[in-house]
Amino acid sequence: MPRLVGQRSHNRANITVLILLVAIVGILLEYFGAIDIVPGFGREGRYFQLPGQPSNEQGAGQIN
């Protein structure tokens, strides 16, 4: 539907909402451990286990 004559488009509002959504998704991915940009931020264990990484159940392979 074409824009009405004299009406402004809401591009700034749409871009602001898009940036906020991208930031929220990025923070959630960092918190749950899918990405690791900020060391030490997020949950203690990873929510998404990356292939090739030992999980807590597997241990580090060291004998006490």
**Residue 6 has what pLDDT?**
73
Q: Output the 3-class SS for the chain.
A: CCCCCCCCCCHHHHHHHHHHHHHHHHHHHHHHCCCCCCCCCCCCCCCCCCCCCCCCCCCCCCCC
State in Å, rounded, how far the first CA of the chain is from the last one: 71
Name residue, tokens 């241990």.
59
Name residue, tokens 């074409």.
2
**Residue 22 has what pLDDT?**
97
The one-digit pLDDT tens for each residue of the chain (64 residues) are 566 677 777 788 899 999 999 999 999 998 888 888 888 887 776 555 566 656 555 555 555 5
